[in-house]
Amino acid sequence: MKINVIGCGYLGTVHAACLATLGHEVVGVDTDAARVQRLSRGEAGFFEPGLPELLAQALGSGRLSFATEPTPAEVYFLTVGTPQVADGLAADVSFVHAAIDSILPVASLDAVVVGKSTVPVGTAAGLVDKLGGRALVWSPEFLREGFAVADTLHPDRLVYGLPDDPATACRAQNALDQVYESMLAADVPRLTMNYATAELVKMAANSFLATKISFMNTMAELCECTGGDVTLLAEALGLDARIGPLFLRAGIGFGGGCLPKDIRAIIARATELGVDDTVSFLHHVDAINQHSRDRVVDRALQLLGDEPEGKKVTVLGASFKPNSDDIRDSPALEVADRLHDQGAEVTVTDPQALFGVHRSFPHLHTESDITAALTGAELVLLLTEWQEFSHLDPQATIDLVERPQLIDGRNALNPRAWRAAGWRYTGMGR
Ligand code: UGA
């Protein structure tokens, strides 16, 4: 099919490359000319395992190209960002409106428009008039950074939020079924519903994941007060099929461009709808998450004898999670920055994210070599569980540091092995 993907950020770039790999003729559209040039050379501009190979393959096939303006197509995917507004909790949907404005001059009336951006419930219904009869589907995306290619090509489920009019809904569904033909043939579940439900599926999924993490972080604190071990608690909970083993890792909490923003957007939308009490627990989820970061800062200060000035602190990890160079709302960098503010001499190391640290936190010292970063440290904090860090050898590293003190903010290390090697090991709730 002839497809345009409007907005070539994280989601759009991956989606465009994957659709071209599935055999469609895809134009990725972005208003940023420099980004379009870069993408046309096969450079994603961010770290995502498997994406460079996929881009090269798709560009080489001739089925993928990038442009600054939309072109005539059968299906237009909207994949622009919906960041948190600067002065509140709500999501800014202005890029979605701009994306629609940009396609109207070229999209024929029988074109199908598919919204994939994460939007507050009620957004899609408000866009229908603007589309002047073109069919609109809201089909949220569930890909995770670090696994974006696999999640896009082999999703858990496809969600179609369809228009109320049966004939338009049928036309839109047929078009989308054709786009995802190979996935449907591979028995990926496809659920059809109305706009509001589809929008809520995405918001609910991210809120639920955030709630799981904050729940475990409160359990981690209870473990700390009582001598329990939250990693064993999580293992035991996870064996209950009703609970499941994933997203139960306690630590310094969640960050990134999605979970924090989405719980706030759902609070903002519920407030607009006059039902803010219903989701008030999400304020706690957010507060617990922030508290998890505070706890690490407090513990670090304690280990520095409450005299952080001039003390050498090494932070392992800058991205909000491993296998990503995304530093948006990164818990690791917030902790690093706060220790810097307290006067510590903080060095940050990360396998992929140091470029972003230079740009957004120019005052933080960075070091790409782990050995150099650890040398002379009076306190080490592991804050993003990259394999490079979780596989560190406690015996080999102890000789590098000035004082063998370690905070494992992601419970990624074996406490027994680190303590046996002579380290003063502190985990999160264990
Ligand atoms: C999240 C969702 O998982 C995706 O399904 C969704 O499509 C995406 O947001 C989005 O809305 O676009 P992502 O932001 O890539 O994906 O990251 P996650 O894997 O969800 O991790 C979020 C944060 O939670 C990370 O900081 C991670 O370290 C933290 N986390 C995760 C924990 O602290 N504990 C856990 O057990 C799991």
348 — alpha (psi -120 to 50), left (phi > 0) or beta?
beta
Mean pLDDT of 334-349: 98
Question: What is the band of 321 on the pLDDT scale with cuts at 50, 70, 90?
Answer: very high
Q: Distance, CA 259 to ligand 1 centroid (Å)?
A: 6
Number of domains observed in the structure of the chain: 2
Task: Give residue-wise pLDDT tens across range 65-90.
Answer: 999 999 999 999 999 999 999 999 99
Query: Which amino acid, 176?
Result: L
Residue-level pLDDT at 380? 98
Q: Is 303 labelled a binding residue?
A: no
In a mutational test of the pocket of ligand 1, which residue from 47, 144, 145 has the highest number of ligand atoms less than 8 Å from its CB?
144
Note whether 320 and 328 are within 8 A (CB).
yes
Beta bridge partners of 160: 192
At which of 144, 166, 188 does a domain end? 188
On the 0-12 / 13-18 / 19+ scale of CB atoms within 10 A, 425 is buried
Question: What is the band of 314 on the pLDDT scale with cuts at 50, 70, 90?
Answer: very high
Pocket of ligand 1 (CB under 6 A): 118, 141-145, 206, 209, 213, 247-249, 251, 253-256, 258-259, 320-321
Note whether 89 and 260 are within 8 A (CB).
no
Q: Distance, CA 106 to ligand 1 centroid (Å)?
A: 36
Q: Is 113 helix (H, G, I), strand (E, B) or coil?
A: strand
24: domain CATH number is 3.40.50.720
Q: Distance, CA 66 to ligand 1 centroid (Å)?
A: 28
| pTM over the 0.85 mark | yes
Residue-level pLDDT at 344? 98
On the 0-12 / 13-18 / 19+ scale of CB atoms within 10 A, 410 is buried
Q: Is 48 labelled a binding residue?
A: no
Residue-level pLDDT at 382? 98
Question: What is the band of 177 on the pLDDT scale with cuts at 50, 70, 90?
Answer: very high
Mean pLDDT of 143-150: 96
Show the tokens assigned to 228.
Answer: 């329990």
Residue-level pLDDT at 85? 94
Nearest residue (CA) to ligand 1, atom 7: 142
Question: What is the band of 286 on the pLDDT scale with cuts at 50, 70, 90?
Answer: very high
Answer yes or no: do 226 and 350 share one domain: yes
Question: What is the band of 429 on the pLDDT scale with cuts at 50, 70, 90?
Answer: very high
Residue-level pLDDT at 188? 98
At which of 188, 217, 243 does a domain end? 188
Answer yes or no: do 212 and 320 share one domain: yes
Residue-level pLDDT at 212? 98
Mean pLDDT of 10-38: 98
Task: Give residue-wise pLDDT tens across range 290-310.
Answer: 999 999 999 999 999 999 999
At which of 169, 188, 207 does a domain end? 188
Q: Distance, CA 401 to ligand 1 centroid (Å)?
A: 32
Nearest residue (CA) to ligand 1, atom 30: 254
Answer yes or no: do 180 and 220 share one domain: no
Show the tokens assigned to 350.
Answer: 């990360």
How many Å apart are CA 338 and CA 312, to the nearest integer?
Answer: 14
Answer yes or no: do 176 and 217 share one domain: no
Mean pLDDT of 120-136: 96
Which value, to the nearest 10 degrees, does the dihedral of the CA atoms of residues 167, 168, 170, 174 take?
140
Nearest residue (CA) to ligand 1, atom 25: 254
Question: What is the band of 368 on the pLDDT scale with cuts at 50, 70, 90?
Answer: very high
Note whether 304 and 271 are within 8 A (CB).
no
Question: What is the band of 204 on the pLDDT scale with cuts at 50, 70, 90?
Answer: very high
Answer yes or no: do 304 and 164 share one domain: no
Mean pLDDT of 317-333: 97
Query: For residue 334, what is the enclosing H or E element?
Result: helix 331-341
Angle between helices 230-238 and 195-226 (to 10 degrees): 140
Which value, to the nearest 10 degrees, does the dihedral of the CA atoms of residues 351, 353, 358, 363 take?
-80
Show the tokens assigned to 46.
Answer: 């961010």
Answer yes or no: do 184 and 198 share one domain: no
Answer yes or no: do 200 and 184 share one domain: no
Q: Is 258 a catalytic residue?
A: yes
Percent above pLDDT 70 for the chain: 100
Q: Is 254 helix (H, G, I), strand (E, B) or coil?
A: coil
Nearest to 85 by CA among 329, 270, 264: 264
Show the tokens assigned to 409.
Answer: 């903010």
Answer yes or no: do 200 and 166 share one domain: no
Answer yes or no: do 144 and 271 share one domain: no
Answer yes or no: do 165 and 230 share one domain: no
Residue-level pLDDT at 263? 96
Answer yes or no: do 286 and 147 share one domain: no
SS3 content of the chain, % helix, strand, coil (to 5): 45, 15, 40
Question: What is the band of 162 on the pLDDT scale with cuts at 50, 70, 90?
Answer: very high
Task: Give residue-wise pLDDT tens across range 216-253.
Answer: 999 999 999 999 999 999 999 999 999 999 999 999 99
> How high is the mean pLDDT of the chain?
97
From the candidates 8, 18, 223, 258, give the one annotated as an active-site residue.
258
Answer yes or no: do 219 and 352 share one domain: yes
Q: Is 249 labelled a binding residue?
A: yes
How many Å apart are CA 377 and CA 7, to the nearest integer?
Answer: 43
Question: What is the band of 283 on the pLDDT scale with cuts at 50, 70, 90?
Answer: very high
Residue-level pLDDT at 33? 98
Query: Which residues constitute the domain of residue 39?
Result: 2-188
Atom of ligand 1 lying closest to residue 331 CA: 26
Mean pLDDT of 39-67: 97
Q: Distance, CA 327 to ligand 1 centroid (Å)?
A: 13
